[in-house]
């Protein structure tokens, strides 16, 4: 699965940016509050406008403080997947149940320096594990390969039937890094500059997907 990150698009033309990636599996939308991360992007009103302009399932990544208070609104608005940060959620089990009850899939994200093991039991309540491969806050950063150890651990648990999450990765994914991420066991790849920085975003998605498929076949 390829999820283009609209963070790398022209914010003045978000509807056009969504239309340019029609072949995408999900459309990744980063919500940042300027507190949990040192950047401010967009919020629920803009997400609602994006939802109204595309048929692509919208993958909302909430890089915000107090997601227990705010996440439900994104699920109720029609987001396909709503991801909150393990480092910010006060009651992640209840939050996952509330997001699911509102009709969305629930995702749990961990930052590069956050260990995976403390959250394994929590993941039984979630549909998606989003492993950050850059420090959250800004696009265009360099991929941190050390996070792939967390991906491998999650993949082993999924393959063993102990977890049922989609393993997603976000940060620095491009033609140079997607193969090693696929080999580690990633299911869904968030790609920003690699898609929206290309002359033809739709072709860039297909090229990334082809690379991931080949690498996944080698690894499994």
Point out the catalytic residue in the list 25, 98, 170, 187: 170
**DSSP result, the chain:** -EEEBGGGS-GGGHHHHHHTTTT-S-EEEEEEBSSSSS-B---HHHHHHHHHH--SPEEEEEE-S-HHHHHHHHHHHT-SEEEEETTT-SSHHHHHHHHHHTTSEEEEEE-TTS-SGGGTTGGGG-SEEEEESS-TT-SSPPP-GGGHHHHHHHHHHHHTTS---EEEEESS-STTTHHHHHHHT-SEEEESHHHHTSSSHHHHHHHHHHHHHHHHHHH-
- 170 as an active site residue: the answer is yes
Task: Count up the domains in the chain and report the number.
Answer: 1
- 91 as an active site residue: the answer is no
pTM of the model: 0.94
Low-confidence stretches of the chain (pLDDT beneath 70): 218-220
pLDDT, tens digit, 9 for 90 and up, residues 184-196 = 999 999 999 999 9
Q: What is the CATH number of the domain that holds 124?
A: 3.20.20.70
pLDDT, tens digit, 9 for 90 and up, residues 101-126 = 999 999 999 999 999 999 999 999 99
Point out the catalytic residue in the list 25, 30, 33, 127: 30
Domain holding 114, by residue range, is 2-219
């Amino acid at each position: 699965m390829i999820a283009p990150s609209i963070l790398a698009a022209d914010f003045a033309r978000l509807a056009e940016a969504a239309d340019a990636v029609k072949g995408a599996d999900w459309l990744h939308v980063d919500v940042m509050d300027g507190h949990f991360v040192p950047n401010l992007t967009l919020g629920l009103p803009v997400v609602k406008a994006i939802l109204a302009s595309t048929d692509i399932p919208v993958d909302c990544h909430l890089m915000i403080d107090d997601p227990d208070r705010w996440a439900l609104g994104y699920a109720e608005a029609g987001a396909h997947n709503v991801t909150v940060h393990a480092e910010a959620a006060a009651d992640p089990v209840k939050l996952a149940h509330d997001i699911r009850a509102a009709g969305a899939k629930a995702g749990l994200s961990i930052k590069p320096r956050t260990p995976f093991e403390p959250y394994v039991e929590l993941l039984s309540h979630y549909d998606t594990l989003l492993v950050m491969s850059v420090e959250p806050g800004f696009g265009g950063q360099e991929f941190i390969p050390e996070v792939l150890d967390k991906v491998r651990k999650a993949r082993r648990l999924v393959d063993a039937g102990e977890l049922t999450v989609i393993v997603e990765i976000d940060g620095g994914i491009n033609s140079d890094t997607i193969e090693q991420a696929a080999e580690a066991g990633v299911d869904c790849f968030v790609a920003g500059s690699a898609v929206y920085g290309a002359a033809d975003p739709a072709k860039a998605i297909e090229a990334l997907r082809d690379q991931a498929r080949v690498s996944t076949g080698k690894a499994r």
